[in-house]
Amino acid sequence: MPNPQSISPLRTLLAQRGVCRCSSVQQRLLSSTRRNASPTQAPPISGYGSAELLRRHHKQELLTPSQVAKAERARSVKRMRWSAYGIVACAAAIFGTIVLYPDPRKAERRRLLDLQEEEKTDVVKLDAPPSIGGGLVDPLAKPDDVEQVPTGTSTIPTFPKTIHLPSTAPASSPAAANEPNNGQQSSVEYQLVGLGVRTVSILSIQVYVVGLYIAVSDIAALQERLVHSVAAADVATTLVPGEKKTLREKLLDKDEGEDLWNAIIRDGNLRTAFRIVPTRATDFMHLRDGFVRGVTARSAHFASDRQDLSFQDESFGQALNEFKSVFGGTARRKLPKGEVLLLSRDARGTMGVYSEDNTGTRVHMGEVADERVGRLLALNYLAGAQVSSEPLRKSVIDGVLEFVERPVGTVATQVV
């Protein structure tokens, strides 16, 4: 090791300058680190809805936790209130669009109906009782010449007053005896009794228009059954106003009306038909499922509320399966808007199912021999606490009350 005294003054000076330089650099680095570590900016603003933002917004020095919670709850309630207002406004707009939007075709249809009425007033009529004139239809008349009845809806504006269906009654039946040519004619004339619109949901969305028709030659039998259900005398052929009121109340009663229609349909040997026209495109499976649900519910009602077990055997289940197969099983066959589905019932109770397109071409889809299926299907429209179409039930009641105003047998008078 060299002696300190032997080191030259120059080396000593250089060594001192190096030490000083290193220490100064170290001090400079430490000082800059301290400057960078010191805060130079304010902390970032807290998120939306935080206590700091609420304090700045309300210009308060401090908010207690309860005040913060109360303010946040008030903001949430305000947002929910405005959301509810928006939902109500949207629902009102949808309802107004569906119900109140003017149909540009309605005026044209009304004009055509007015023209048809004017043409009818120009026809020369013979002096005859209204009962005869109202029950006569020219057998050679074309479908376009048949009188049309307004339905009350612009989608399906009219229904024909009369239709013709194939005759299925045997030649020896009472119904065939009233037909010309001893029941050998190829078709039977049916007259409209009443019609109505089937709607669903609280918005009363229209599904289809349905009308009940009865064979003209069977109107007398229906008159007789209705008159004898309320008339005191067995020989009565018509009803007075007081008896008509009693009959109306009886038909509107959920139990008495069901009993009366059930007996008439089961034992009256009446030929009837339901004419169904959808107001929008649908398919046969959708209609079939609705019919089956109604028939099943009505059979359960008879079993539980009326102690009638006649619809609970195995044969009725098989008949219901036949009814399903008539509509094509699981195939989704379309029924466009304006086309027709006919559910007829002959004097033996056999139900026939027909589809008819806009050109008038009719297709026989099949039939169900068990009369119970058609009877329950008819009761779903005519009687009970709940019906498929309340307007149809009221219209049918009005129609049959017009029948009983006239003597039995005069409504269906025919000229052969």
- What is the four-CA torsion angle of 360, 361, 365, 370, rounded to 10 degrees? 50
Mean pLDDT for the chain overall: 77
Highest mean pLDDT among 327-331, 341-345, 405-409, 412-416: 341-345
**Burial call 256-294: b when 16+ CB within 10 Å, e when fewer:** ebbebbbebbeebbbbbbbbbbbbeebbbbebbebbbeb
Per-residue model confidence as pLDDT tens digits over 138-153: 444 445 578 899 988 8
Instruction: For residue range 379-393, list pLDDT tens digits in order.
Output: 999 988 889 999 999
State residue 140's pLDDT score: 40
What is the pLDDT averaged over residues 124-147?
A: 46
Reported for 202-206, long-range contacts at CB under 8 A and 24+ positions apart, including other chains, are 203/95, 203/98, 205/98, 206/153, 206/155, 206/279, 206/280
User: What percent of the chain is predicted at pLDDT more than 70?
Assistant: 65
Say if pTM beats, i.e. exceeds, 0.75: no
- The answer, yes or no, to whether residue 235 has pLDDT greater than 80, is no
Higher pLDDT: 130 or 85? It is 85
Tell whether the model's pLDDT for residue 20 goes beyond 90. no
What residue has token string 């045997």? 170
The mean pLDDT value for 127-146 works out to 44
Among candidate residues 365, 389, 202, the one with its CA nearest the CA of residue 290: 389
* Pairwise pLDDT comparison (314 vs 52), residue with the higher score: 314
Tokens of residue 100, six digits: 């109140």
Nearest to 351, CA basis, from 373, 335, 329:
373
Q: What's the confidence (pLDDT) of residue 189? A: 92
Let me know: does 211 contact 160? Beta carbons within 8 Å.
Answer: no
Give yes or no for residue 55 having a pLDDT over 70: no
Read off the pLDDT of each residue in 52-81 and give the average, rounded to a whole number: 76
- pLDDT value at 170 more than 50: no
| pLDDT tier, 108 (very low <50, low <70, confident <90, very high otherwise) | low
Q: Which residue has the higher pLDDT, 177 or 202?
A: 202
Q: What per-residue string of b and e applies to 143-174 under the rule 16 or more CB within 10 Å gives b?
A: eeeeeebebeeebbbbbbbbbbbebbbeeebe
